[in-house]
Amino acid sequence: MLFDGRHQKTLTKVIAIIAIIAFLGFGLVAGFLAVSGGCGVADPLAQAVSDAQTSVQQGQAAVATAKKAVAQSPKSAQAKKDLAQARNDLGQAQITLAQARLGVNRQDPQALSSALAAAKSAPDNLDVVLGVVTVATSQNNPAAALPALQRYTATNPKDAQAFAYWGQVAEQAGQRSQAVLAYQRFLQLAPDDTLAADIRNRLAELAKPVTTTG
């Protein structure tokens, strides 16, 4: 598979950090309560979901307020900046909610819905987009993350690492043509990157005809 060893660590750094924080953090809290007998404290996983839902509601209200400010002062650079920040904050809150839902139920469809909503709220935030990748791949549905990666790279066409992520997710989703295009774009942008050799190897593998057993 692509990006073995240290290259794998480089490519999946953000995704791994997001997933580890989400699941290990919840696990530590749950483990502590199990050892201590709970002490009457609410389920930390359910509490995490509740807290995240509150943050999303606050974020939605902030976006609505910022939109009104832009409507009232359409030429105000500050109003537009505030709206962009509100949308980014909402996207972060929605990703947090998605990850909290995964902590309760790995296959919760609402987790993916929250993640996809986050990508629409903050399409230019790579951390949010990679959060979508984390949720989608956790649910064995990497194809669901492809639109978010496509939107991000469309507005950030010089982000070589994003194209590497896109290529890997497309390959995992069985989208060979997408993977090839994404990998080729990565090599155009960063031909001397430490991942370049691995990506060239993947392109060579993808160029081979698909074989079927029967």
Under DSSP, the state recorded for 3 is S
pLDDT in tens, 78-90: 999 999 999 999 9
* SS3 readout for 174-186: CCHHHHHHHHHHH
Percent of the chain topping pLDDT 90 = 77
| CA distance from start to end of the chain | 24
Range of the domain at 13: 5-33+43-206
Nearest to 46 by CA among 108, 127, 136, 120: 108
pLDDT in tens, 25-75: 434 334 433 444 445 556 899 999 999 999 999 999 999 999 999 999 999
Residue 117 φ then ψ, to 5°: -65, -40
Structural domain total, the chain: 1
pTM score, whole prediction:
0.77
Quote the pLDDT of residue 35.
42
Burial 73-90 (b: 16+ CB within 10 A, else e): eeeeeebeebbeebbbbb
Q: Is residue 211 part of a domain?
A: no
CATH assignment at residue 91: 1.25.40.10
Q: Is residue 214 part of a domain?
A: no
